[in-house]
């Protein structure tokens, strides 16, 4: 590891490092969504609040290109976590962006992600869901620009 090489971290609607256990029906929905356009649309409708139809279709097209094995491995990684004990070692300024993502509400991110990282702070962008960079690109960019500008100050 080379912490001196990291000036700062930005985490957009991150899954907690301890994992995010899901109720079995939700877990099955995510697992079975690989290659299933209808289920992927359902997940986007659940997780996102302000997607345009064009953005939704673009995300669905991208999802269709991801092999099922990759989607399943990703689901296992973020549902099981397993590295929460390493968060205390992070020393870079960290911006955690929370939204109205129903799976990752600000209160959860404040406790599970922000609190264990010494130099982390929470920014809440009300309105969008899991993909604020797609749902509210200007506002998300403004948050990132302000954070990066703060890193550039001596």
pLDDT tops 70 at residue 153: no
SS3 at position 142: helix
Number of Cβ within a 10 Å radius of residue 73: 11
The predicted structure's pLDDT at residue 154? 59
pTM for this entry: 0.92
Span 24-48, pLDDT tens digits = 999 999 999 999 999 999 999 999 9
Contact 119, 91 (CB under 8 A): yes
The predicted structure's pLDDT at residue 4? 75
Fold designation for 3-152:
Rossmann fold (3.40.50)
Span 58-86, pLDDT tens digits = 999 999 999 999 999 999 999 999 999 99
Counting residues of the chain whose pLDDT is more than 90, the rounded percentage is 93
């Amino acid at each position: 590891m080379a912490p001196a090489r990291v000036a700062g971290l930005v985490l957009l609607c991150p899954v907690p490092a301890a994992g995010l256990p899901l109720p079995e029906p939700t877990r099955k929905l995510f697992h079975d969504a690989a290659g299933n356009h209808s289920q992927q649309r359902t997940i986007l409708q659940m997780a996102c609040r302000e997607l345009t139809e064009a953005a939704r279709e673009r995300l669905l097209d991208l999802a269709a290109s991801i092999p099922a094995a990759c989607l399943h491995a990703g689901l296992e990684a973020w549902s099981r976590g397993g590295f929460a004990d390493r968060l205390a070692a992070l020393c870079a300024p960290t911006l955690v962006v929370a939204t109205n993502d129903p799976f990752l509400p600000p209160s959860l991110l404040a406790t599970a992600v922000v609190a264990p990282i010494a130099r982390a702070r929470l920014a809440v962008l009300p309105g969008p869901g899991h993909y604020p960079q797609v749902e509210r690109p200007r506002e998300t960019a403004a948050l990132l620009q302000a954070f990066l500008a703060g890193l550039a100050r001596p």
